[in-house]
Each structure stands twice: as C-alpha cells, then as structure tokens.
C-alpha cells in the first residue's frame, strides 16, 4: 500500500508512435511515417484506461505530429483530467537543430495543443531527453513554465545536459519563473542510477524497481516516471536491419511492460508533473535561480 506520508509521484507519458522512436530511425525514413501502421491511439487509450482504474493522473507530453492527426485523442486525454504538455512537433533531437529550427518546432506544437484543448501548455520534454542549454531561453520566451528533460545519470549517447543540474536537486529554478523537473534517478554522488522508466523499467526486476522508488520518496523529494504508449504494445511490427544495441533498447521485455506498469500504478499515488512542481514551489522557499548561459544564436 502507498505510504500517505510520502509525497505523490509524477506519472508522465511521452506520446509518440512506435515508428518515430530514435532507436528505429536507421531503418524508418521520416518520409515513410504517414504510410506506417499507426498504433498510438489504441496504445494511449489503453494507458488512459489503466490510469482511470487506478485513480491516477498523468502528464502527457504529446508530439505535435501525432496531435495533428489524432485531435480527438488529445481532447480525450485532457477531458480525463490529465495535463497536456509538449514533446515538440517532429521528434528531432535538439542538438541536431538550430535555435531557429527548434523555436519553429516547439512553437508549432504548442499552438496545435493549445488550440485543441483551449488551455495554456506549461511543460515541455525534449525527444530522447536531448535538452540543450540554449533551448531554455526559447522555451521560456514561448511561455513554458517548466522543462522535464534532464536525466541526471551517467553518460548516455542521446541525453542532453544543463549546466549545474545534477541528481542532488530533482526540481530547481533555472531562471526566474522557469523550472527543471528532472527524470528520477537513485542518487549516487552528483549523478545517479536511472530509475525513471523506459528500457530501464523494462529490464529491472519489479520488486527492485519498487524498492528504488520507495527509497527516492522516503527522502521527501518527488519521483518522476515516464513511459511511451508503444512500450505496452508487444504486437508492434518487428523491423529487420537494426543494430544489436538499438534492437535491444526498443524491444526488450515489451511483453512484460503492461503488467509491470499496472503494478506500479497500484503501488504509489500518481499525479501530474505540473502538480508536483506546484507542490514543490509551495514547500521550498524561493531561491536564486540557477544561472544559465544565453543561447548562441
């Protein structure tokens, strides 16, 4: 049973279709996206069903490309009491974009989402957590209140970094009025062992994963989990031509993922990233924002 003394945990869902994942990019040309079998609606609806059964709320970081083609899905997520946030439009890694390209991508997605739900979109998450320092100013200028892209863990070939952000501070104010809500790690020094979701969640024994979440929550700091709709879909197409690493990252334990996800929903109290941020701001006195360098335009 969840411990009522512990702070609630933040559930997040990165809404993208199976063929848009970075692991599959070597064998899935972007030009083929519209001709691929779309499975994002059915998988996201299944996640919504599981959330409703457990009484959980979540933040859905939605790809603008998906929102354009599935507007009813976006509205249904919002109608369920969940937070709508941005995952950008085209699922491009930030460090492959210029600042102007990034601004256009994010502004396009934000406009689509806000037009669909009639509410302000507060949060952003970079594809594959590829956040960069220069993106922070752009996000704030576009009206975002928080980013949730930093994974303060050991080196990873896709993850981005923000100066001064480490595993010791899961939520911090980067600039006045703009916050970073980090993906969770079990802390080890200034970095940590990844404990936020994705392939890490699919690989670890569930009992061990649950113990790690409890350890984080016992410190009184928020816990932030993420999952993708395609991760509960073991029936998705299996593509040939992938390298060993990418194949393993994408397909490992897909057949066990939904069962583990149901257990996770039952074992903890879940709310949105925005709610956790608001609670954190009320609990933690305002501090001098972390200095961040200006974007190099």
0.95 exceeded by pTM: no
pLDDT tens digits, 16-46: 999 999 999 999 999 999 999 999 999 999 9
| Statement: residue 6 has pLDDT above 60 | no
Q: With contact defined as beta carbons under 8 Å apart, do 120 and 85 qualify?
A: no
pLDDT tens digits, 151-182: 876 555 556 566 666 656 789 999 999 999 99
Q: Answer positive or negative: Cα dihedral of 220, 208, 261, 170.
A: positive
pLDDT tens digits, 178-208: 999 999 988 776 567 889 999 999 999 999 9
The domains found in the chain, sorted by start residue, are 9-283 (3.20.20.370)
Q: What are the angstrom distances between the C-alpha of 65 and each of 48, 60, 213?
A: 20, 14, 33
pLDDT at position 191 is 63
Shortest CA distance to 230 belongs to which of 251, 245, 208? 251
| Mean pLDDT (whole number) for 46-68 | 98
């Amino acid at each position: 049973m969840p411990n009522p003394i512990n702070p609630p945990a933040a559930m997040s869902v990165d809404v993208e279709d199976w063929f848009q994942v970075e692991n599959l990019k070597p064998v899935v040309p972007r030009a083929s996206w519209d001709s691929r079998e779309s499975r994002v609606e059915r998988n996201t609806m299944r996640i919504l069903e599981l959330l409703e059964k457990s009484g959980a709320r979540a933040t859905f970081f939605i790809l603008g490309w998906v929102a354009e083609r599935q507007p009813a899905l976006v509205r249904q997520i919002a109608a369920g009491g969940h937070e709508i946030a941005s995952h950008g439009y085209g699922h491009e890694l930030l460090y492959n974009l210029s600042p102007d390209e990034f601004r256009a991508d994010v502004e396009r997605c934000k406009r689509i989402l806000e037009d669909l739900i009639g509410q302000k979109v507060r949060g952003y998450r970079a594809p594959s957590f590829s956040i960069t320092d220069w993106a922070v100013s752009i996000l704030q200028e576009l009206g975002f209140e928080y980013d949730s892209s930093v994974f303060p863990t050991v080196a990873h070939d896709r993850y981005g970094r923000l100066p001064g952000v480490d595993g010791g501070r899961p939520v911090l104010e980067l600039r006045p009025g703009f916050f970073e809500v980090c993906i969770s790690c079990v802390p080890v020094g200034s970095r940590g062992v990844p404990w936020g979701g994705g392939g890490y969640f699919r690989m670890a024994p569930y009992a061990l994963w649950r113990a790690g979440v409890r350890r984080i929550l016992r410190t009184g700091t928020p816990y932030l989990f993420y999952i993708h709709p395609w991760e509960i879909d073991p029936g998705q197409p299996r593509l040939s031509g992938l390298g060993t690493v990418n194949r393993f990252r994408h397909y490992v334990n897909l057949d066990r993922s939904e069962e583990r996800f149901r257990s996770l929903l039952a074992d903890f109290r879940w709310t949105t990233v925005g709610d956790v941020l608001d609670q954190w701001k009320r609990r933690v006195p305002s501090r001098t924002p972390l200095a961040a360098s200006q974007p190099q335009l």
